[in-house]
């Protein structure tokens, strides 16, 4: 099969799967089999595209031409390939986990949950494979809309309030900033088609105008959670844990930082931004977000809130690396999308397992829990070590490349931010691991064991993937290196 039909299949498989899941809603086993089958088929389709992208091809599919030169189209390049692999692969694991979680907690509206999950993956594939800014914008907004019912899943006052913040911040930032940025790009360049070297390379914009347009994009891409456009992310923690995993690891926030990197590389152009100095402010904002969010995480007792602010911080690692505008840091930004995804989904899986088995939601309640849930807490420890950047876990590789990129460019303040944030990562993760394994259980804790087997199997798999990632990182490194213009 050629590239175009495969791209069409990647977009249609999860959408058709959503219809099949809805039709099977009265039969839970069949519904969940449809979910797993759809996830596996999508991953197979994405894998079939991989050899073409690694060979230097850019498979394309043009769907609708709205105006001359303005179309809804799809084209797959190395960054999109990496994002599609991460999202489609982790959907399988998240689906296994979701079966255990939704049944173990007797959650309502399970059919709607699986349908919206599938639609979210269809939108994510659209974001990953968008050939131009218009297509990316439409799929990006669709992703917001189809994940909103997941955030408000429980239907109580807290869920409705979190959903309002989620929808308000993400749609508000898109309408106020991202949409005008897209229109301004069309007016300046006469095209929205992503181009190596950047759409705006010959547009003749002044440094100030370029900086202003870049700011519209960066704060309009609310899913990247740059402060102050970040409140939606902790607000969305009212959702069930599999949704939190979707938001933080599989689709939503990854769509945000993916879009940031894509805009820097293919809209503005790395060389153009470096020559004009128009992105000099962005490392300051990203560095502030990294440190401020880490401090909030350190002070948060609620486990999911701590993980949420950890995500805000880790997303800005990607933004910071991309903003350095050197090949090695661009590659590091792409690689960190994958490394963070595997580690953070492990941490959220562990948080959900703790809630399901023990009913605990606060960090201060976790004394001795590692003795009763050794698999869960060992997985949590591996995910935490990865985000701290301890070798050989996945996060070490991307962080090492960030340090190298910053050093090679002489960005010493960035090196200081990376070093300080690494210490803060350790400060808010390691006490959890210490308390879980080295403190006695709290008096009055009811006896319990591990969460249901599908949940433990999923978190064990992702924890193992976190650990072995650097040893089998050839494909992610090849894709990230191609984006950064590094020799293989």
Q: Is residue 295 part of a domain?
A: yes
Look at the alpha carbons of 206, 212, 216, 219 in this order and tell me if their dihedral is positive or negative: positive
Give the pLDDT score at 303: 94
Asked if 7 contacts 49 with a C-beta cutoff of 8 angstroms, the reply is yes
Q: For residues 26 and 3, give the distance between their C-alpha atoms in angstroms, rounded to a whole number.
A: 37
Q: Which residue range forms the structural domain that includes residue 449?
A: 281-488
Give the pLDDT score at 1: 56
Q: For residues 252 and 37, give the distance between their C-alpha atoms in angstroms, rounded to a whole number.
A: 22
Give the pLDDT score at 248: 65
Q: For residues 317 and 333, give the distance between their C-alpha atoms in angstroms, rounded to a whole number.
A: 7
Torsion of the alpha carbons at 226, 228, 233 and 237, rounded to the nearest 10: 140
Q: Is residue 425 part of a domain?
A: yes
Give the pLDDT score at 244: 76
Asked if 356 contacts 105 with a C-beta cutoff of 8 angstroms, the reply is yes
Residue 127, CB half-sphere, CA atoms under 13 Å: how many? Answer: 35
Cβ-proximal residues to 323 (8 Å cutoff; 6+ apart), any chain: 264, 279, 282, 283, 286
Q: For residues 39 and 93, give the distance between their C-alpha atoms in angstroms, rounded to a whole number.
A: 9
Asked if 96 contacts 85 with a C-beta cutoff of 8 angstroms, the reply is no
Number of domains in the chain: 1
Q: Is residue 351 part of a domain?
A: yes
Q: Is residue 429 part of a domain?
A: yes
Give the pLDDT score at 485: 59
Look at the alpha carbons of 387, 388, 394, 397 in this order and tell me if their dihedral is positive or negative: positive
Q: Is residue 384 part of a domain?
A: yes
Give the pLDDT score at 246: 72
Asked if 146 contacts 52 with a C-beta cutoff of 8 angstroms, the reply is no
Tens place of pLDDT for every residue, the chain, 488 residues? 568 899 999 999 999 999 999 999 899 999 999 999 999 999 999 999 999 999 989 999 987 877 777 889 999 999 999 999 999 999 999 999 999 888 888 888 889 999 999 999 999 999 999 999 999 999 999 999 999 999 998 888 988 999 999 999 999 999 999 999 999 999 999 899 999 889 998 777 899 999 999 999 999 999 999 999 999 999 888 878 777 777 767 788 899 999 999 999 999 999 889 988 889 999 999 999 999 999 999 999 999 999 999 999 999 999 999 999 999 999 999 999 999 999 999 999 999 999 999 999 999 999 999 999 999 999 999 999 999 999 988 899 999 999 999 998 889 999 999 999 999 999 999 999 999 999 998 877 777 889 999 999 999 999 999 999 888 888 888 998 887 655 44
- State the distance between the two ends of the chain, measured CA to CA, in whole angstroms: 27
Q: pTM of the predicted model, to two decimals? A: 0.94
Is the omega angle on the peptide bond into residue 228 within 30 degrees of 0, that is, cis?
yes
């Amino acid at each position: 099969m050629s590239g175009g039909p495969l791209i069409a299949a990647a977009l249609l498989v999860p959408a058709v799967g959503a219809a099949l899941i809805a039709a099977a809603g009265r039969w839970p086993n069949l519904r969940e089999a449809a979910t797993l089958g759809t996830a596996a088929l999508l991953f197979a389709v994405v894998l079939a595209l991989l050899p073409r992208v690694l060979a230097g091809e850019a498979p394309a599919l043009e769907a609708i031409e709205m105006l001359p030169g303005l179309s809804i189209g799809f084209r797959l390049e190395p960054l999109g390939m990496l994002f599609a692999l991460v999202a489609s692969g982790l959907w399988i694991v998240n689906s296994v986990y979701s079966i255990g979680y939704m049944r173990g907690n007797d959650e309502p509206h399970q059919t709607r949950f699986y349908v919206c999950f599938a639609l979210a993956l269809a939108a994510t594939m659209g974001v990953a494979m968008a050939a131009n800014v218009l297509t990316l914008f439409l799929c990006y907004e669709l992703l917001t809309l189809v994940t909103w019912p997941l955030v408000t899943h429980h239907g109580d006052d807290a869920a409705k309030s979190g959903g309002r913040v989620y929808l308000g911040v993400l749609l508000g930032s898109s309408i106020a900033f991202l949409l005008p940025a897209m229109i301004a790009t069309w007016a300046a360049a006469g095209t929205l088609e992503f181009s190596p070297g950047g759409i705006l390379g010959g547009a003749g914009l002044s440094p100030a105008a370029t900086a202003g347009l870049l700011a519209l994009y960066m704060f309009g891409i609310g899913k990247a959670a740059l402060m102050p456009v970040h409140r939606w992310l902790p607000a969305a923690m009212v959702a069930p844990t599999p949704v939190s995993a979707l938001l933080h690891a599989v689709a939503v926030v990854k769509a945000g930082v993916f879009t940031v990197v894509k805009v820097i590389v293919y809209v503005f152009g790395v060389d153009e931004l470096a020559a004009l100095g128009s992105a000099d402010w962005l490392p300051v904002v990203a560095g502030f977000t990294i440190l401020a969010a880490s401090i909030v995480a350190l002070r948060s007792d609620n486990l999911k809130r701590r993980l949420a602010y950890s995500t805000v911080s880790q997303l800005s690692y990607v933004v910071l690396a991309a903003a350095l505008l050197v090949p090695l840091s661009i590659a590091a930004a792409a690689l960190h999308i994958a490394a963070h995804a595997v580690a953070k989904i492990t941490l959220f899986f562990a948080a959900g397992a703790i809630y399901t088995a023990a009913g605990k939601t606060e960090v201060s309640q976790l004394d001795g829990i590692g003795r009763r849930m050794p698999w869960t807490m060992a997985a949590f420890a591996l995910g935490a070590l990865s985000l701290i950047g301890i070798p050989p876990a996945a996060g070490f590789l991307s962080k090492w490349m960030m340090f190298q990129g910053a050093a090679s460019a002489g960005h010493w303040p960035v090196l200081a931010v990376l070093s300080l944030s690494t210490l803060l990562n350790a400060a808010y993760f390691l006490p959890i691991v210490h308390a879980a394994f080295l403190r006695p259980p709290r008096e009055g804790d009811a006896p319990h064991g591990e969460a249901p087997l599908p949940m433990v199997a999923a978190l064990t798999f992702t924890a193992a993937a976190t650990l072995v990632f650097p040893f089998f990182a050839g494909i992610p490194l090849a894709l990230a290196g191609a984006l950064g213009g590094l020799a293989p």
